[in-house]
Amino acid sequence: MVQEGELLWTPRPEFAQRSQLARYQNWLRERRGLDFALDDYAGLWRWSVDQPEQFWETIWDYFDVQATVPFSRVLDRRQMPGVKWFEDSRLNYAEHMLRHEAIAPDAVVFHHRSETRPLAQMRWRDLGAQVRVLATRLRALGVRPGDRVVSYMPNVPETAIAMLATTAIGATWSSAAPEFGVKTVIERFSQIEPKVLFAADGYRFGGKDFARAAEVRRIVDALPSLETVVWLPHLDPQAAPPAWPQLRSWADVMDHAPVSREAFRYEQVAYDHALWVVFSSGTTGLPKAIVHSHVGALLEHLKLLHFHLNLGPESVMFFYSTTGWMMWNLLLAALLTGSAVVLYDGNPAHPSPDFLWQLAADTGTTSFGASPTYVQMMEKAGLVPRERFDLSRLESIVVAGAPSTPETFAWFYRSVKQDLWVTSQSGGTELCSGFVGAAPTLPVHAGEIQTRLLGMDVHAFTDDGREIVDEVGELVVTTPFPSMPIRFWNDDGDKRYRESYFEVFPNVWRHGDFIKINARGGCYIYGRSDSTLNRFGVRIGTAEIYRAVEQVPEVADSLIVCVELPGGNFFMPLFVRLKPGIALDEALGKRINAKLREDCSPRHVPDRIYAVEAIPYTLTGKKMEVPVRKLLLGWPLEKAASRDAMMNPEAIDWYVRFADTSTDYDWRGKSRQQASA
């Protein structure tokens, strides 16, 4: 079995030397007199965080960022929050995303497929033309800079066109996936009072149709600010649209003469103008409406997609995502590099479990992205993609959405390709990017995130604010970065923003993840720090529990929480979903505990093990540790979790019953009073 930290891959010299990162280092040497050896990523990173003004100005210059008004200074101060980046500049994010149209108008920009549409391609010239038509029509419909435009659409080219058109005219974009429940959508969009809604009639998933006209009607009724609904007949293109007074069909809106690149005017917006609003998961409480700026997202995405994902005009990027996850925004950001993008809407395992690998082969994907959950599904199904598909163009793997195990890494090398840059990333919706991730000049070690990303001054802190190495601590960022949220929507005095990230360590961003950074700079993420397992004063990340438990053959999935008991004690139950036909008996329980004791430590052994019907997940594939913990602490379901934010809402019912009826421990005590207060 592969060991954590085991060396799995070293980049070939030619791979490292032709990387986007190496080209930037050559430019630094020639244009700035900064000489960093190709194998000295650590020195390059240290300079990028010690001299943030100098580093981010080189990003602006290296990528030839176009602004109609230049910036007066890169950064106004280094004390967070409330910093200003590239002050006084005026530019447009969408204009930069579509710059490649002028370079290679006939090149493919989108490979797109859904369960209702066969694989097809879109060229840069067609994308640019459609964006300009829609942007012009939105202006004619009265959309002005700063107005909000929202989407309830699947992952299809029309949604990308709508986002680009919205951004091109300086309006503010926000998106929800069509599988989101009505309450979840209303909770999000009602906060920002949109003027226009793009909506689809439904979607198909796993061969089953999901009509959404009734849901859209309820959403529209709950948003009095809406003036226009643009209707896309995705599920049934022949069906007549609803007879709503504010409704316009996609076809009618787009049925206008194309606008040339020369004649079209991109709205040049201020450095602190709202690009989009993305929302926190909403598993507890009202989702945070997180606002990013044009300049912040542009500089961060130029850096990330080029240097840390190594994308360029010859690349084809695929990441399985819905339109309700920030990874969709990041997938489209690949256009900044000239890369083609694969858009897929549907079940990743339909019509066959290895369908996404077929899609990768058909599109010539060079960078393939998915979650660790998907990899576990592949491994348990015994699939070996390299035996069935031509993956000769595949160069890199992007694993994101949850902590990756050494076994996840090893599966790719064993089942996909031996010469493969397997990367794990971790960041968040808050920055629409990553804090830690990949570098094409570094080796890959099992289960290890290669490095801290350039410009991200990431450290592990103890509870009292001391930096630690080779130990698990709080993930913090001690220097500002451009893609920090400029604010939360409707957050007077930035109160909720400050409480979310700056309440624990003044002027230091506390992200809410546990991280370990080893002596060579490799990183390990151990799950959310607010779902931490605290046994006898030792903090335990949930990811290491899952890695051990899910190696037990009878276990299909698991979830663990730690609940504070009155008197300062703790109760740590482990919930396991077993494979069909397996029962949780004393022998199996002992084997699970022995595995945890052997692979981890005695402190990792739970107080009790319970067999459950299902493990609850959010819509973005994260285990719902915190809501389950709150249920056990006595919180009512409506305060602990939102069903509409769950992938499998019925899964939570078992835990509600368990919290109400279990007599194993009286863990609720004072917490019931706190939860109801």
**Is residue 442 predicted with pLDDT exceeding 70?**
yes
Q: Are 436 and 451 in contact (CB under 8 A)?
A: yes
Which range (336-345, 564-573, 577-586, 589-598) has the least confidence? 564-573
Q: What is the mean pLDDT of residues 541-558?
A: 89
How many whole angstroms separate alpha carbon 638 and alpha carbon 653? 12
Domain 92-292+302-337 has CATH 1.10.10.10: no
CATH 2.30.38.10 maps onto the chain at 12-81+425-528
**Neighbouring-strand partners of residue 657:** none
Indicate if the alpha-carbon torsion angle 371, 377, 382, 387 is positive or negative.
Answer: negative
CATH 3.40.50.12780 maps onto the chain at 92-292+302-337
Q: In the predicted model, what is the mean pLDDT of the chain?
A: 92
Q: What is the pLDDT of residue 671?
A: 35
Which range (37-46, 371-380, 498-507, 654-663) has the least confidence? 371-380
How many whole angstroms separate alpha carbon 226 and alpha carbon 148? 10
Alpha helices in 539-607 (DSSP H): 542-549, 586-599
Q: Are 607 and 571 in contact (CB under 8 A)?
A: yes
Closest CA to 595 of 549, 627, 562, 630: 549
The residues near 55 (Cβ < 8 Å, ≥ 6 apart) are: 47, 48, 49, 454, 455
For residue 361, give the amino acid letter.
A
How many whole angstroms separate alpha carbon 474 and alpha carbon 525? 10
Percentage of the chain surpassing pLDDT 90? 78
Q: What is the pLDDT of residue 630?
A: 86
Q: How far is CA 443 from the centre of its chain?
A: 24
How many whole angstroms separate alpha carbon 464 and alpha carbon 524? 21
For the chain, give the number of residues: 677
Q: In the block, which residue shows the tokens 């546990």?
A: 514
Query: First and final CA of the chain: distance in angstroms?
Result: 49
- State which fold the 12-81+425-528 domain adopts: Luciferase; domain 3 (2.30.38)
Q: Provide the token pair at 144.
A: 């002005």
CATH for the 532-676 domain, from 3.40.50.720, 3.20.20.70, 3.40.50.1860, 3.30.300.30: 3.30.300.30
Q: Around Cβ 665, how many Cβ atoms within 10 Å?
A: 15
Question: What global pTM score does this model have?
Answer: 0.87
How many whole angstroms separate alpha carbon 548 and alpha carbon 447? 13
How many whole angstroms separate alpha carbon 334 and alpha carbon 302? 9
For residue range 71-130, list pLDDT tens digits in order: 999 999 999 999 999 999 999 999 999 999 999 999 999 999 999 999 999 999 999 999
Domain 348-422 has CATH 1.10.1790.20: no
CATH 3.30.300.30 maps onto the chain at 532-676
**Is residue 535 predicted with pLDDT exceeding 70?**
no
**Is residue 341 predicted with pLDDT exceeding 50?**
yes
Q: What is the mean pLDDT of residues 606-620?
A: 92
Q: Provide the token pair at 538.
A: 């030792």
Q: Residue 511 in 3-state DSSP?
A: strand
